[in-house]
């Protein structure tokens, strides 16, 4: 009984002390962790927007394969392909664009203003593309225009 009486008060006092200090330790640790999470979140937000897909960014010198072909593949090829060549125009490959059998060239290297491809996507001609679809974003239009202006290279 003496042993038990001796242990219980000692044990409970130690227990309380431990709980309090553990609580303080967790409190400060969690506080620091919470603050650093806030800082990390703040930094992420402060560093600007999330990266855009490459073809959605405004590019100085777009590459046909990396930047232009993906735009055509996404927005044009479902109609302008070998099986279903609307306006006798296949926009699948570089060669199919440059060697279109149409009388009017689709792309005049160096001259976006003479290129039907640029006119239709900029909605500058009667025919507007994508056909009955939403106009491409300004950056995508600008990238295609820049690619034509810089010589419409097969790069
Ligand atoms: C939903 C089907 C569809 C989609 C998507 C589409 N086109 Fe067309 N396109 C057509 C049809 C149909 C014609 C023929 C329309 C006409 O002559 O009025 C045409 C004609 C054209 C012409 C020839 C215009 C002329 O005056 O002769 C060009 C250039 C063209 N499309 C480019 C594009 C480009 C670039 C895209 C993607 C940004 C695109 N098209 C997306 C259906 C489509």
Q: Which atom, in ligand 1's list, is nearest to the CA of 75?
A: 37
Reference 76, options 125, 118, 111; nearest CA is 118
Dist. CA 125 → ligand 1 center (Å): 11
* Residue nearest atom 24 in ligand 1 by C-alpha distance: 127
Query: Tell me, what's the pLDDT at 120?
Result: 97
What are the counts of helices (DSSP H) followed by strands (DSSP E) for the chain? 5, 0
Quick one: which of 140, 117, 114, 139 has its CA closest to 128? 117
Ligand 1 site, residue 147, Cβ cutoff 6 A: no
Phi/psi at 117 (5° precision): -55, -45
The residues spanned by each domain of the chain are 1-48, 54-149
Ligand 1 pocket residue status of 123, Cβ below 6 Å: no
Please state the rounded mean pLDDT for residues 95-103: 87
Q: Residue 72 and residue 70: Cα distance in Å, rounded?
A: 6
pLDDT in tens, 116-132: 999 999 999 999 999 99
Nearest-CA residue for atom 37 of ligand 1: 76
How far apart, in whole angstroms, are the C-alpha atoms of residue 96 and residue 107?
11
Top-ranked range on mean pLDDT: pick from 18-22, 45-49, 65-69: 65-69
With a 6 Å cutoff on the Cβ, whether 107 touches ligand 1 is: no
Instruction: Examine the pLDDT at 33 and tell me if it is beyond 50.
Output: no
Q: How confident is the model at residue 19, as a pLDDT?
A: 44
| Whether the CB of 105 sits within 6 Å of ligand 1 | no
Q: How far apart are CA 81 and CA 58, in angstroms?
A: 27
Q: Ligand 1 pocket: which of 67, 70, 75, 87 to mutate (most atoms <8 Å of CB)?
A: 87
């Amino acid at each position: 009984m003496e042993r038990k009486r001796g242990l219980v008060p000692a044990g409970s006092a130690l227990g309380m002390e431990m709980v309090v200090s553990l609580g303080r330790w967790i409190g400060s640790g969690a506080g620091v962790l919470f603050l650093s999470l806030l800082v990390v979140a703040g930094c992420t937000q402060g560093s600007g927007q999330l990266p855009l897909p490459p073809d959605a960014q405004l590019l100085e010198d777009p590459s046909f394969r990396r930047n232009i072909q993906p735009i055509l593949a996404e927005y044009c090829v479902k109609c302008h392909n070998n099986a279903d060549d609307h306006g006798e125009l296949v926009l699948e490959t570089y060669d199919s664009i440059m060697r279109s059998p149409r009388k009017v060239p689709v792309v005049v290297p160096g001259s976006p203003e003479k290129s039907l491809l640029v006119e239709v996507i900029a909605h500058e001609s009667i025919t507007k593309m994508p056909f009955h679809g939403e106009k491409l974003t300004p950056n995508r239009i600008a990238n295609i225009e820049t690619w034509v202006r810089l010589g419409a290279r097969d790069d």
